[in-house]
């Protein structure tokens, strides 16, 4: 698991290879990632947008941007946590993702870019 904190908002990521949905002979590798967002700040925040860069080890880079996360724009009071699971498919057995969330402080409307820590996705047999 990797974590980072930006202005009191902690983002942690854990990945898992999904062998049942992958097809290595067709260069298709599926990973899930569990994101935990913890509001350790003093202000209520709302997650508005996400921005991802997805890298395959074959040199392919994809950019994904959109509203919220898995169809939600969660509001987190101080001390609250939001967790979700999403997925990514790669064309290589090793890749990485990094990104940001755009969050807004409810009290004053100030928008903040919260870092999502870079994380790797590696099929288990590559680790031996």
Tell me the three-class secondary structure of 63-80, residue by residue. EEEEECECCECCEECCCC
CA gap 95, 56 in Å, rounded: 4
pTM, rounded to two decimals: 0.93
Instruction: Say which residue the tokens 């590559």 belong to.
Output: 126
Beta bridge partners of 111: 104
- pLDDT the model gives residue 125: 78
Q: Which residues of the chain have pLDDT under 70?
A: 127-128
- pLDDT the model gives residue 127: 66
C-alpha torsion sign, points 9, 42, 46, 108: negative
- Over residues 5-25, the pLDDT tens digits come to 999 999 999 999 999 999 999
- pLDDT the model gives residue 11: 98
CA gap 39, 27 in Å, rounded: 38
- pLDDT the model gives residue 65: 97
User: Are residues 98 and 118 in contact, defined by beta-carbon separation less than 8 angstroms?
Assistant: yes
CA gap 108, 41 in Å, rounded: 14
- Over residues 61-77, the pLDDT tens digits come to 999 999 999 999 999 99
């Amino acid at each position: 698991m990797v974590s980072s904190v930006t202005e009191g908002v902690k983002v942690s990521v854990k990945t898992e290879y999904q062998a049942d949905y992958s097809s290595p002979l067709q260069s298709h590798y599926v990973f899930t990632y569990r994101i935990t967002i913890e509001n350790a700040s003093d202000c209520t925040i709302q997650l508005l947008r996400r921005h991802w860069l997805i890298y395959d080890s074959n040199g392919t880079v994809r950019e994904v941007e959109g509203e919220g996360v898995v169809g939600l724009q969660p509001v987190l009071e101080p001390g609250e946590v939001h967790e979700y699971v999403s997925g990514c498919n790669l064309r290589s057995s090793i890749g990485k993702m990094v990104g940001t969330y755009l969050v807004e402080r409810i009290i004053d409307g100030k928008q903040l870019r919260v870092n999502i820590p870079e994380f790797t996705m590696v099929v288990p047999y590559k680790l031996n």
